[in-house]
């Protein structure tokens, strides 16, 4: 095979990758539009029948791992105690904090150490003490040795005796009716074992007492880019996967699980940086092997707000960790790849994530590097390749991002200001001109770090939820 044949194969492989990748997400957005309208219709019906005037609801334990969260732990717990739901408890797990997190909890909520007997169905680090508040019966605080987020969740899983557990980050902000909305799928579909809701960007929103008064796009450049990304990949992308019964990720920032299902598979794994995706894949594996009916859902209505990084280093560290988590999860469950035992999850969905999500940065970075080489190498420029490559990678990507922004406006109308909508439309174009290329580089570094065995989370700077005038 001559050099030109090899070059042609390489060029068409690169172009084909971008065409398949962007086409997949375009189809996910389109299918998500249909799916969302159907879900919203059923949601209105359930609401009109007054579901929570009946006894069909289930008790929920909200598990809140906290490590050095003294800056916002009190406000976070206070907001969780105000949720609108008939029967729930808040279990805060202080994971060996070295700051004043535990002291603040004891003082503010007048906590008292208590004897609480529970079965240790999953392993975790030693629990030093368990505290309850005589005035606030829904609140339990576990003080334990440091073991990481997954280990803290396992401690909360053991202490909980509820039907369902809701895992959230200590710096997440839940809307007051979020549990009511998310519980519906567990009631309507008895075989549901896990469900996630949409995580939206809180940066830029007007806040008062940890309640959102007005919704706006972030002010920072990186925040606005992530707003578009969250709409495309984390809203309509996951709704689309849900439509295909193929969801692989329930965000660690916010998800509800059937407690016994998580216990059956051994709880959260503490030695991974992607405990959220790893648990979902393990649940798929467990139920597929047993040929048992189950559902893992994503609902676009239940909303959790989170602060996204607005500085370069923090965002790089976050995306590096996310990609290492994906690599770790796929490697641990590599037996599922192309294995008919695991149905379409093993035959199609995991292979897609392997080739297009995990290994995709190799093609993306290599493609842009190859394009740059053509421009700087005399006589090497192939005009046809340049046009096709830019059309498949950048212009097509812009179209998918733009449709995602417009789809959000057609379905949810989250942003009431025309200025915010226009900003998102503008950034749906800008996102593809630099950010996604740099993002691919971060992911590639994450893949290399995984191969080197890196396990650290990386530091992420957060400002916290503060009252502001947006």
What does the block give as tokens for 290?
Answer: 């047993």
**What dihedral do alpha carbons 363, 368, 374, 376 form, nearest 10°?**
-140
Report the alpha-carbon distance of residue 152 to residue 199 in Å, rounded: 22
CB 307 within 8 A of CB 300: no
* pLDDT on residue 131: 96
From the number of C-beta atoms within 10 Å of its C-beta (0-12, 13-18, 19+), residue 192 rates as: buried
The total of other beta-carbon atoms located within 10 Å of residue 177's CB is 16
Q: What string of pLDDT tens digits covers the 470 residues of the chain? A: 455 577 788 889 999 999 999 999 999 998 888 877 776 655 554 554 455 555 566 899 999 999 998 888 998 899 899 999 989 999 999 999 999 999 999 999 999 999 888 888 999 999 999 999 888 789 999 999 999 999 999 999 999 999 999 999 877 889 998 998 888 889 888 899 999 988 899 999 998 877 888 999 999 999 999 999 999 888 888 888 988 889 999 988 889 999 999 999 999 999 999 999 999 999 999 999 999 999 999 988 888 998 899 999 999 999 999 999 999 999 999 999 999 999 999 999 999 999 999 999 999 999 999 999 888 888 778 899 999 999 999 999 999 999 999 988 888 888 878 999 999 999 999 999 999 999 999 999 999 999 999 988 878 877 766 666 54
Q: From residue 345, how far is each of 79, 247, 283, 286, 394 by CA, in Å?
A: 38, 9, 11, 12, 29
CB 407 within 8 A of CB 33: yes
* pLDDT on residue 49: 46
From the number of C-beta atoms within 10 Å of its C-beta (0-12, 13-18, 19+), residue 82 rates as: exposed
CB 147 within 8 A of CB 269: no
Q: What is the CA radius of gyration of the chain?
A: 23
The model carries a pTM of: 0.92
CB 420 within 8 A of CB 216: yes
* pLDDT on residue 470: 45
Spell out the domains of the chain, with CATH numbers in brackets.
3-19+352-451 (no CATH), 56-347 (3.90.550.10)
Report the alpha-carbon distance of residue 3 to residue 455 in Å, rounded: 41
Contact partners, residue 175, CB within 8 Å, separation at least 6: 212, 302, 303, 304, 305
* pLDDT on residue 462: 74
Report the alpha-carbon distance of residue 100 to residue 110 in Å, rounded: 15
* pLDDT on residue 50: 53
* pLDDT on residue 56: 60
User: Number of H helices and number of E strands within the chain?
Assistant: 17, 12
- The closest alpha carbon to 283, from 196, 369, 204, belongs to 196
Report the alpha-carbon distance of residue 97 to residue 107 in Å, rounded: 16
CB 179 within 8 A of CB 88: yes
* pLDDT on residue 55: 55
């Amino acid at each position: 095979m001559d050099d030109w044949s090899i070059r042609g194969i390489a060029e068409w492989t690169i172009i084909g990758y971008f065409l398949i990748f962007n086409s997949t997400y375009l189809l996910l957005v389109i299918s998500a539009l249909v799916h969302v309208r159907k879900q919203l219709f059923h949601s209105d019906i359930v609401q009109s029948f007054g579901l929570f005037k009946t006894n069909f609801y289930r008790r929920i334990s909200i598990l809140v791992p906290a490590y050095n969260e003294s800056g916002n732990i009190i406000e976070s717990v206070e907001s969780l105690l105000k949720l609108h739901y008939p029967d729930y408890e808040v279990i805060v797990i202080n994971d060996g904090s070295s700051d004043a997190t535990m002291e603040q909890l004891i003082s503010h909520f007048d906590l008292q150490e208590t004897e609480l007997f529970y079965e240790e169905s999953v392993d975790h680090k030693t629990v030093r003490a368990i505290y309850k508040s005589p005035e606030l019966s829904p609140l339990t605080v576990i003080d334990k040795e440091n073991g990481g987020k997954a280990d803290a969740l396992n401690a909360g899983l053991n202490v909980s005796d509820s039907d369902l557990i809701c895992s959230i980050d200590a710096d997440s902000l839940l809307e007051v009716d979020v549990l009511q909305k998310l519980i519906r799928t567990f009631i309507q579909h008895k075989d549901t074992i896990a469900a996630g809701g949409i995580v939206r960007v809180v940066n830029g929103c007007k806040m008062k007492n940890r309640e959102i008064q007005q919704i706006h796009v972030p002010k920072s450049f990186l925040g606005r880019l992530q707003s578009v990304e969250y709409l495309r990949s984390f809203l309509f992308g996951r709704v689309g996967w849900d439509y295909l019964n193929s969801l692989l990720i329930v965000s660690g920032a916010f998800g509800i699980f059937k407690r016994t299902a998580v216990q059956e598979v051994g709880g959260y794994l503490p030695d991974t940086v992607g405990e959220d995706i790893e648990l979902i894949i393990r649940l798929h594996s467990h139920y597929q092997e047993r040929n048992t009916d189950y559902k893992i859902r994503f609902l676009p209505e239940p909303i959790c707000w989170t602060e996204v990084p607005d500085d370069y280093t923090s965002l790089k560290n976050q995306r590096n960790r996310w990609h290492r988590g994906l690599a770790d999860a796929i490697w641990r469950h590599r037996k599922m790849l192309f294995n008919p035992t695991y149905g379409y999850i093993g035959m199609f969905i995991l292979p897609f994530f392997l080739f297009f999500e995990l290994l995709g940065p190799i093609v993306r970075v290599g493609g842009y590097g190859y394009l740059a080489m053509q421009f700087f190498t005399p006589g090497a420029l192939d005009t046809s390749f340049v046009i096709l490559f830019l059309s498949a990678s950048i212009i097509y990507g812009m179209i998918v991002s733009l449709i995602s922004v417009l789809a959000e406006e057609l379905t949810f109308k989250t942003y009431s200001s025309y200025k915010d909508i226009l900003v998102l439309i503008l950034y749906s174009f800008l996102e593809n001109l630099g950010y996604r290329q740099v993002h691919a580089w971060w992911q590639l570094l994450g893949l290399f770090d995984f191969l080197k065995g890196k396990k650290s989370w990386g530091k992420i700077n957060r400002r916290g939820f503060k009252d502001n005038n947006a």
